[in-house]
């Protein structure tokens, strides 16, 4: 797939200019193009570089494998994903409720609106933002969620939401630091930003290397580890107050990774189990993790 690429000169977290190559991997979903991940020499943050331009990266999302946009249930892995997701949605709503006072929630990258639909049925005041037009259409038809385009983010009033959620979305955000500043503004002073991202320091990431499905190049622009998340939000006057595991993700990601390397689903399940076994609340090495982030307390 022929597209103009944009080079990232400065680290998105520390603004350091020195980078070293970390890994090269293939876009398994659409193009088979190869992309590179670099590591900042100063802070060790890993990010895709170069990346497709913002105007052209949409082409790399045009795959039925991209479940949050298509809702596809084709194949065993996607069918299992949908079964588990219904339970996960309840757990997500419970977590949001734990941190909410007035039950107002903004879900950024809401996809087909399943999570917000569940929240709406439990008396939340909801708003969803979603860049993909077809996903917005499904959200309206299937979940009565009238999602807005991402540009709507900057028209929202300050101090509005109890909870802002981003389920596997932050790694896609082009204007990372600018958008985080806006999240902070529209979040209530005692509100919570709930962010789920893959963790490239997990055991399954170390095992699968360039075949690790959660690298998902080139649409994953950033490849976070817990210290990166703390450092990124600290520079914006916010702090991580809780880190929670997403234990199913290690199985799902490992099974897809196994498919990429020509293995079998059972091996992926076993490696997902091993990854969870190696992780705990002290080392925070789960395959995907949820970060609860709040405004830093004034001293």
Give 203-254 pLDDT, tens digit per residue: 999 999 999 999 999 999 999 999 999 999 999 999 999 999 999 999 999 9
CATH number, domain at 103?
A: 3.40.50.150
CA-CA-CA-CA torsion sign (175, 213, 107, 240): negative
Residue at 263 is within a domain: yes
Q: Region 40-47: what's the mean pLDDT?
A: 98
Residue at 181 is within a domain: yes
**Residue 41 CB-half CA count within 13 A:** 8
Q: At 63, is the pLDDT very low, low, confident or very high (cuts 50, 70, 90)?
A: confident
pLDDT reading at 76 higher than 80: no
Residue at 35 is within a domain: no
β-sheet bridge partners, residue 56: none
Read off the pTM.
0.93
Residue at 8 is within a domain: no
Residue at 227 is within a domain: yes
Q: Are residues 29 and 39 in contact, defined by beta-carbon separation less than 8 angstroms? A: no
Alpha helices in the chain (DSSP H): 67-70, 76-98, 114-121, 133-143, 176-186, 203-208, 226-234, 247-260, 265-278
Distance CA 88, CA 86 (A): 5
pLDDT reading at 195 higher than 90: yes
Q: At 70, is the pLDDT very low, low, confident or very high (cuts 50, 70, 90)?
A: very low
Residue at 66 is within a domain: yes
Residue at 48 is within a domain: no
Distance CA 51, CA 3 (A): 10
Tell me what percent of the residues of the chain surpass a pLDDT of 70: 92
Question: How many separate domains does the chain show?
Answer: 1
Residue at 128 is within a domain: yes
**SS3 at position 101:** coil
* Residue 204 domain boundaries: 54-295
Could you tell me which of 176, 224, 241, 236 has the C-alpha nearest to residue 39? 224
């Amino acid at each position: 797939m022929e597209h103009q690429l944009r080079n990232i000169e400065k680290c998105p977290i520390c603004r350091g200019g020195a980078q070293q190559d970390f890994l090269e991997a293939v876009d398994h979903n659409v193009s088979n193009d190869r992309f590179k991940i670099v590591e900042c020499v100063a802070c060790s943050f890993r990010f895709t570089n170069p990346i497709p331009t913002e105007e052209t990266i949409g082409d790399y999302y045009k795959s039925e494998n991209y479940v949050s946009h298509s809702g596809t249930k084709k194949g065993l892995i996607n069918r299992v994903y949908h079964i588990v997701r219904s339970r996960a949605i309840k757990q997500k709503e419970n977590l949001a409720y734990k941190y909410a006072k007035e039950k107002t929630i903004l879900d950024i990258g809401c996809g087909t609106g399943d999570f917000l639909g569940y929240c709406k049925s439990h008396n939340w005041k909801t708003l969803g933002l979603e860049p993909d037009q077809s996903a917005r259409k499904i959200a309206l038809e299937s979940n009565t969620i009238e999602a807005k385009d991402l540009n709507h983010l900057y028209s929202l009033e300050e101090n509005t939401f109890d909870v802002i959620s981003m389920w596997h979305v932050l790694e896609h955000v082009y204007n990372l630091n600018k958008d985080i500043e806006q999240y902070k503004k529209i979040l209530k002073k005692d509100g919570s930003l709930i962010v789920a991202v893959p963790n490239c320091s997990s055991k399954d990431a170390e095992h699968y290397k360039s075949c690790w499905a959660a690298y998902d190049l080139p649409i994953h622009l950033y490849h976070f580890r817990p210290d990166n998340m703390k450092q990124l939000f600290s520079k914006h006057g916010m702090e991580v107050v809780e880190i929670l595991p997403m234990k199913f993700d290690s199985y799902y990601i490992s099974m897809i990774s196994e498919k990429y390397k020509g293995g079998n689903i059972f091996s992926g399940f076993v490696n997902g189990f091993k990854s969870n076994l190696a992780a705990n609340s002290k080392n925070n090495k789960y395959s995907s993790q949820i970060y609860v982030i709040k405004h830093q307390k004034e001293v």
